[in-house]
Amino acid sequence: MFYLVLDLEMSGPDPEWNEVIQIGAVLCNDNWEELGQFITNVYPENSESFSAPSQKIHDLSLADLQDAPMLFEAIEKFERWILETLKYKGTDKQNVFRNVAICGQSVMYDINFLRAGYRKEKVDWYFSHTQLDLHQLSFLMFKILSANGYDVPRKRSLEAISAYFELEREGDTHNALEDSILTKDCLAAIFSYVPYLKLDEEAMGD
């Protein structure tokens, strides 16, 4: 299984009205070793959907996106990057993408937005049904750590989780690639605990 850590910036919160304006991703093997990074801006066809509150988050203006590829071109570029990073030279991308799990912070929000874009552009969605959500995994991880006497953050924002692992983003605005990298590092940190989580067979019972 390969892990595709994904982050999107959007023109607003509604996948049926707003649009993806930036795609960032990091591709890792099943040991969380980084294989490659990807980022592209996306030109929004529906300029009316471009919201000021969202712009404050991602700091991308319509002028910044003027020369960006359209969504269909961005999807082609994105998928081509995955196949090239995995050194796949065949024609059946479906079997490759079935082995790629999408990961992220509150990842279903990004997946729903991206899938809406795929539907709009009539592109088949082949990615694995396995998804890893940092928000949910950190909830379980922090419960385990708290039960073992460790202080854990009360919030599970990307900032709070990354701060716990002594990680932080470089800038104040949300860049899709930088957030993908930060999310990947947090997921790798959580998975690093797995070898140390031993089951007590007596406590587990029969």
CATH assignment at residue 183? 3.30.420.10
Residues of the chain under the 50 pLDDT cut: none
Does 58 reside within a domain? yes
Phi and psi at residue 5, in whole multiples of 5°?
A: -90, 115
- pLDDT for 172: 62
The pLDDT of residue 94 is 94
What ranges in 148-200 are assigned the alpha helix state H?
158-164, 176-191
What's residue 84's pLDDT? 97
Instruction: Please report the pLDDT score of residue 90 as a whole number.
Output: 87
**Chain-centroid distance, C-alpha 80:** 18
Assigned token pair, 102 = 């999408």
pTM of the complete model: 0.92
Domain presence at residue 174 = yes
Tokens encoding 171: 């800038």
Range of the domain at 128: 2-195
Number of domains within the chain: 1
Q: Tens digits of per-residue pLDDT, 100-119? A: 999 999 999 999 999 999 99
User: Is 73 inside a domain boundary?
Assistant: yes
Asked if residue 202 belongs to a domain, the reply is no
Question: What is the helix (H) or strand (E) element at residue 121, kind and residue range?
Answer: none
pLDDT of the residue at 61? 84
